[in-house]
Structure 1
Amino acid sequence: MLKKNLFTGSLLLLALATQAQSISPTPDQIKAYTSAWKGERSADGRPKVSDAILARLKNISMEEAWGVLRNKGYHNQFEGEWQLIYPDSAMTGRVVTAQYVPSRPDLEALVKETGKKEGRVQTGGTNSWPIDVLKDGDVYVADGYGKIADGTLIGDNLGNSIYAKSKRGVIFYGSVRDVEGLSEIKGFNAWMKGQDPSYIQQMMLTNINTPIRIGRAIVLPGDVVLAKKYGTIFIPAHLVEELVLTSEVTALRDEFGHLRLKEGKYTPGEIDTKWSDVIQKDFLNWVNNYPGKLPMTKKELDDYLKQRNY
């Protein structure tokens, strides 16, 4: 038994050592992290949720998204209490993760040597490396372990590069500098824990596209993020489409319920419980004659309602 445990331990150490010799996991390793996703993937292995779903997700409330994830058993996907450059802006995108830690000379030397072997740029700091991998629709999400002074992961130069590559902003459990300059980048936004005029010092990048912690949340590469002034929620890729449709239907039901309550047609008790056959038929008739444009296709809605019994 002892020999077996030692052998198992040796294999684990070997696996950790192998992973430690690269800045990013291989595409196959990222696929293993996100094996529940069955759709298209980026070249680096991350799930590639469609732009159409990302656009629809922007209209979903934080509470609706949170509720769907909780019902699926995902209890650790939300983080709040952010500072934003533009508080009224919403952002969705595919996550690229980065992990930062306090500097340590021996480990920093290994990281830089590993990056050199992988062809990563050697001029400037390693905090530019995550930016180099960004593609359109990606959101750069970094764990800067809450460091504010001397923990500024980007300024306006890197901010311009980020937006040029991703057409998105950033989410940092840490800080930024040059907020005035960042605010001049049209379309860019930052969710951050603080801002400071100092330059990044005594901290280092260790990994790109590995699982990271953002406050209360765990985040995987290829997760989809919904970011608003009310908080950020990190959604496993394989749940995004279902979450969007479920939340859209919930919003329609709420709209219908509020309308009928204002009209006095039903009591609060009738609306705030499982609906009777009469109310369900009324809802379906209301949906069929919906005055605006439904967020989903009629087929999506019909298929969804067939599987639910409200």
Structure 2
Amino acid sequence: MTVLTAELRSQREKISTATLATALYKRGLRQQVIQGVTPLKRLTKSMVGEAFTLRYIPAREDRNGLEVFRNPDHPQRKAVEICPPGAVLVMDSRNDPRAASAGGILVTRLMKRGVAGVVTDGGFRDADDIAQIDMPAFHTRPSAPTNLTLHEALDINVPVGCGEAAVFPGDVVVGDNDGVIVIPAHLVEEVTAEATEMTAFEDFVMEEVREGNTIIGLYPATRDETREKFAVWRARNGR
């Protein structure tokens, strides 16, 4: 059963990964950011979706010839065809971008199927083409060689490690221009609620700072005056 309702998805699209990282840190979770990945193009809104995973292992020459792609059940091809609309395909490419995790054709297929985004701790081939696709895609760097040279796609929708972060199927994945963060499924509602509050306060603080006000007593709000001004700001802005 999905944990990401339409309302939660809409709320998360307005929350930065930085704010989510702080909310998770308050709960003792320090390693939720997928390290080293960046979007192929600047995003105008956050990528949000439940994790659907693909795991690669080191390739072995007797199992990893080009002919394996003729098999309709090849895990890479199958993952592209069954990743649910609205999900984020997260690929564990062993933190190794020397061979591509996927290319422009497969990523385009994901986009046409309504997938919310794709993340790999490896690289993409056809990076310029993928950058033109209307779907967020995150990787470490471009990589021309086929994945078959170094990676074998093995498991679909199992727990994986991606960029030093543990990702379980159904976790909520959020990506923006700062990177990608993974929210454990059981914390989705409470983290979203707190991060929404934090975002409102941070927007208020930014306005105050742009007007030339000091951060002392403002950020964090250690003065009654700050809390009172924030309450007035919220009422005025409907936040």
Task: Output the TM-score relative to the length of structure 1.
Answer: 0.66
Q: Which residue of 2 aligns with 1:67?
A: 22
Deviation at 1:143, TM superposition (A): 0.6
Q: Which residue of 1 aligns with 2:145?
A: 198
CA distance in 2, matches of 1:221, 1:199: 26
Change (3 A) 1:152 1:289: same
Larger helix proportion, structure 1 or 2? 1
Deviation at 1:180, TM superposition (A): 3.0
Q: Give the match's secondary structure for 1:270.
A: coil
1:215 paired with 2:163, answer yes
Deviation at 1:181, TM superposition (A): 2.9
Q: Which residue of 2 aligns with 1:288?
A: 235
Deviation at 1:87, TM superposition (A): 2.7
Q: Which amino acid aligns with 1:63?
A: A
Alignment of 1:1-310 (within 5 A): 41=1, 47-89=2-44, 90-104=46-60, 122-123=71-72, 125-149=74-98, 151-185=99-133, 187-202=134-149, 203-260=151-208, 268-290=215-237, 293-294=238-239
Change (3 A) 1:84 1:258: closer
Q: Which amino acid aligns with 1:86?
A: K
Greater Rg by CA: 1
Q: Which runs of 5+ in 2 are unaligned?
A: none
Deviation at 1:145, TM superposition (A): 1.0
- The question of whether the paired residues in 1 share the 8 Å contact of 2:39 and 2:179 is answered with no
Show CA shifts across 1:44-82 (max 9, x none): xxx431122122212212221101111112121112332
Name which structure has the greater RCO, CA cutoff 8 Å, separation 6+. 2
CA distance in 2, matches of 1:173, 1:273: 35
Deviation at 1:139, TM superposition (A): 0.5
CA distance in 2, matches of 1:229, 1:267: 27
CA distance in 2, matches of 1:286, 1:183: 39
CA distance in 1, matches of 2:132, 2:204: 41
- The question of whether the paired residues in 1 share the 8 Å contact of 2:11 and 2:192 is answered with yes
* Deviates most, 164-173 or 98-107: 98-107
Q: Give the match's secondary structure for 2:51.
A: strand
CA distance in 2, matches of 1:195, 1:283: 45
Change (3 A) 1:280 1:100: same
Q: Which amino acid aligns with 1:147?
A: D
CA distance in 1, matches of 2:82, 2:51: 11
Larger strand proportion, structure 1 or 2? 2
Q: Give the match's secondary structure for 1:52.
A: helix
CA distance in 2, matches of 1:263, 1:184: 38
CA distance in 2, matches of 1:69, 1:85: 26
Change (3 A) 1:278 1:96: same
Q: Which amino acid aligns with 2:17?
A: M
Change (3 A) 1:184 1:62: closer
- The question of whether the paired residues in 2 share the 8 Å contact of 1:80 and 1:230 is answered with no
CA distance in 1, matches of 2:209, 2:129: 48
CA distance in 2, matches of 1:262, 1:156: 42
Q: Which runs of 5+ in 1 are unaligned?
A: 1-40, 42-46, 113-120, 295-310
Deviation at 1:124, TM superposition (A): 7.6
Aligned residues: 233
Q: Give the match's secondary structure for 1:181.
A: helix
Task: Output the TM-score relative to the length of structure 2.
Answer: 0.83
Show CA shifts across 1:236-287 (max 9, x none): 12222222222222222233344456667x8643324554445434432332
RMSD: 2.8
Deviation at 1:126, TM superposition (A): 2.8
- Matched residues, percent identical? 23
CA distance in 1, matches of 2:24, 2:117: 24
